[in-house]
Structure 1
């Protein structure tokens, strides 16, 4: 594993501390990316990853005018009541990940399509910030962190759909998505060059949304999740085959 995730986490904490120490309120602007990088002694890539982490936590927003403190999103007790037991179930029994993929295809395909139709420049910038944070983390061996950033990217798309119900449902399932994505990545990352393919697919989703092509956004989102489903099935079959071979060798 590279040191980058730890650097990004440190920068994330420093920026959060800066917001508190300066008593910044929702809508207040933070220093520019260049100023933050100099102030914190950080590279631009690590800083962007840290900003992406703060974006998905809904602590900051990336706008054309700069980085600002975000308005808090209330989490309803009903959403928590739904999400908590499902997250625990998927964590304990990874086989339910296939059910999550089916739900993801319905939700994320609609979100991508609506985001392409409705996203304003600010929303597109938010999606791009999450994508760049995820791309900055590519090539590391930390499925947990990659899953967290992956879920944040899709949540930013849901927010850009300007459908409050869709966004709230996706937000309430964030931990569930992170858990399911992590379990999937731990398996399919064993396949050579799979990370490169996933990165290209995520970039294609963003490109379609940025171009305002709703049909393409829906199509590439569906293709992405179908690829994940097929890769997961093949990984499961490979693991089962190796387990059978190991048992046979153990009995000879």
Structure 2
């Protein structure tokens, strides 16, 4: 299907730029995606190459596009500017940020799932079905890294087929934090007993409700999924805390081995032998 459409009126750089902006805004063109070359863009939009060149230059000046010498023109990192590196570092180092992130997702993903169920087109359902087939394959192979990537792609896809531009881009910014590993202990969810199976089933429950067009069920499944993640994260933290304390106790006893295992042990042994 043709992505860029012919421009019939006002064949100006502004019109070409506006069409590219709309495609980025609607999530058709993604961050890092390469645009067609000047010749192809000119042919598809029906304008001259100098007009295309001017439009690209305009969007480069705004940061929406970025040209790489010898490689071409790409959609700029418009999502990265939402959470700058200093902000991402702060989020990574503060426990409260993890649960605030999940609290936000609990409500917003429920809205996105409801909208997706109510608004998904045939093409949207085909896209979601393709994501789920790859999720199934990764699960069957036990490929944790691929599962984690598809996990993010799955939630991003729900955001896309909700057909709400603000939801789409705020959720993409949210998932960028996950893909960059800001919340590192998230990966441990897949390694808890039964964790992979539960996450797999929860993703399918959301997808099934969206495919069925059941907004209420989709929203409920999305909330149940985050409820599980929150509970699992609390349990992981408790387990890590127990392991930390146990390690400190062991290290203390090893450091004080003479005190705990030397003279006291000797006295006890002499009493036993007597």
Q: For the superposition of Structure 1 and Structure 2, which TM-score range results when normalised by the shorter chain?
A: 0.5 to 0.7
Aligned to 2:16: none
Aligned to 1:83: 83
Q: Secondary structure at the match of 2:80?
A: helix
Cα gap change, 1:212 to 1:181, in 2 (>3 Å): farther
Asked if 1 retains the 8 angstrom alpha-carbon contact of 2:117 and 2:218, the reply is: yes
The answer to whether the aligner puts 1:215 opposite 2:216 as a matched pair is yes
Aligned to 1:8: none
Deviations 1:203-226 (A, max 9, x none): 010000011110000001000000
Give the drift of 1:58: 9.3
Greater Cα offset, 91-100 or 208-217: 91-100
CA distance in 1, matches of 2:96, 2:150: 22
Q: Secondary structure at the match of 2:193?
A: coil
Q: What is the Cα-based RMSD across aligned positions, in Å? A: 3.0
Aligned to 1:20: none
Aligned length: 188
Aligned to 2:225: 224
The answer to whether the aligner puts 1:140 opposite 2:142 as a matched pair is yes
CA distance in 1, matches of 2:152, 2:30: 8
Asked if 1 retains the 8 angstrom alpha-carbon contact of 2:31 and 2:79, the reply is: no
Give the drift of 1:248: 1.0
Asked if 2 retains the 8 angstrom alpha-carbon contact of 1:114 and 1:161, the reply is: yes
Aligned to 2:179: 178
Asked if 2 retains the 8 angstrom alpha-carbon contact of 1:113 and 1:215, the reply is: yes
Asked if 1 retains the 8 angstrom alpha-carbon contact of 2:31 and 2:78, the reply is: no
Deviations 1:55-101 (A, max 9, x none): 98797xxxxxxxxxxxxx98787743213334443445565222211
Q: Secondary structure at the match of 2:84?
A: helix
Aligned to 2:152: 151
Aligned to 2:57: none
CA distance in 1, matches of 2:142, 2:95: 23
Q: Secondary structure at the match of 1:162?
A: coil
Cα gap change, 1:136 to 1:212, in 2 (>3 Å): same
Q: Following TM superposition, where does structure 1 have runs of at least 4 consecutive aligned residues deviating by more than 6 angstroms?
A: 55-59, 73-78
Cα gap change, 1:141 to 1:119, in 2 (>3 Å): closer
Asked if 2 retains the 8 angstrom alpha-carbon contact of 1:189 and 1:195, the reply is: yes
Q: Which has the larger radius of gyration?
A: 2
Structure 2 unaligned regions, length at least 5: 5-28, 34-63, 66-74, 254-274
Structure 1 unaligned regions, length at least 5: 1-23, 28-54, 60-72
